[in-house]
Amino acid sequence: MKILIVGGTRFLGRHIVNSARVRGHDLTLFNRGQTNPNLFRKIKRYQGDRERDLDQLPGQWDAVIDTCGYVPRIVKISAEALKDKVEKYVFISSTSVYADFSKIGIKESDPVGKLEDESVEEITGETYGPLKALCEKTVQDMYGVNSLIIRPGLIVGPHDPTDRFTYWVMRTARGGEVLAPDKPEALTQII
């Protein structure tokens, strides 16, 4: 399968690239070249800004995997630029899209968060989820059944730049008294 990956050199993206390589897929990376620019030297790559340069990419792909879309306006530009170059658009979203986390067993069909002003582009704790939900809608409106939205939960593992999970593992391993961020019975699901 010929796959274009938007991003691909940071945390989740590099794992997607490695997994696709092991499976023998023909990969092309498109990113700004700012994070790990020397990673994956043997993979075809193009450097540019997704707001201006995606429509200049030469080639056709079976699918694009968008690992770094956060703002609907920019995702729309990307989706439009690739419309005649890719068959399927895979958008990596987040479970943060859901409006209510008080219920256990959230379903894909549960309501997503909304923004009063959908033109907001500042990413904060309050806007992140609703912005991702709007990005999803943008992709689905344009690609319909040829879109795939993936809503992972807390992704953890090697190369995580946030240290939001591995910090606690390493701190607990050191032993002694540990100040925990939540109640011991609080549920957390990781990927």
Residue 158 has pLDDT above 80, yes or no: yes
Region 108-116: mean pLDDT is 96
Instruction: Give residue 165's pLDDT.
Output: 83
Contacts by residues 24-32 (CB-CB < 8 Å, ≥ 24 positions apart):
25/1, 26/1, 26/2, 27/3, 28/2, 28/3, 28/4, 28/57, 28/59, 28/61, 29/4, 29/5, 30/4, 30/5, 30/6, 30/54, 30/57, 31/6, 31/7, 31/68
Domains of the chain: 2-153 (3.40.50.720), 161-191 (no CATH)
pTM score of the predicted model? 0.90
For residues 15 and 150, the answer to whether their CB atoms sit within 8 Å is: no
Interatomic CA distance for residues 1 and 170, integer angstroms:
39
Instruction: Give residue 84's pLDDT.
Output: 96
**Residue 156 confidence class, pLDDT cut points 50, 70, 90:** confident
Region 54-83: mean pLDDT is 96
Instruction: Give residue 147's pLDDT.
Output: 98
Instruction: Give residue 52's pLDDT.
Output: 93
Instruction: Give residue 162's pLDDT.
Output: 85
**Residue 77 confidence class, pLDDT cut points 50, 70, 90:** very high
Give how far the C-alpha of residue 75 lies from the chain's centroid of Cα atoms, to the nearest Å: 11
**Residue 102 confidence class, pLDDT cut points 50, 70, 90:** confident
Query: What is the residue type of 189?
Result: Q
Does residue 181 or residue 53 have the better pLDDT? 53
Return the minimum-mean-pLDDT range out of 32-41, 155-164, 170-179: 155-164
5-24 confidence digits (pLDDT tens): 999 999 999 999 999 999 99
Instruction: Give residue 127's pLDDT.
Output: 98
Pairing of strands 61-66, 147-150: unpaired
User: Which candidate, 183, 177, 181, 151, places its Cα nearest to that of 165?
Assistant: 181
Instruction: Give residue 71's pLDDT.
Output: 97
Query: What is the residue type of 54?
Result: L
Mean pLDDT, the chain, whole residue set: 93
Residue 184 has pLDDT above 80, yes or no: no
For residues 25 and 3, the answer to whether their CB atoms sit within 8 Å is: yes
Region 150-175: mean pLDDT is 87
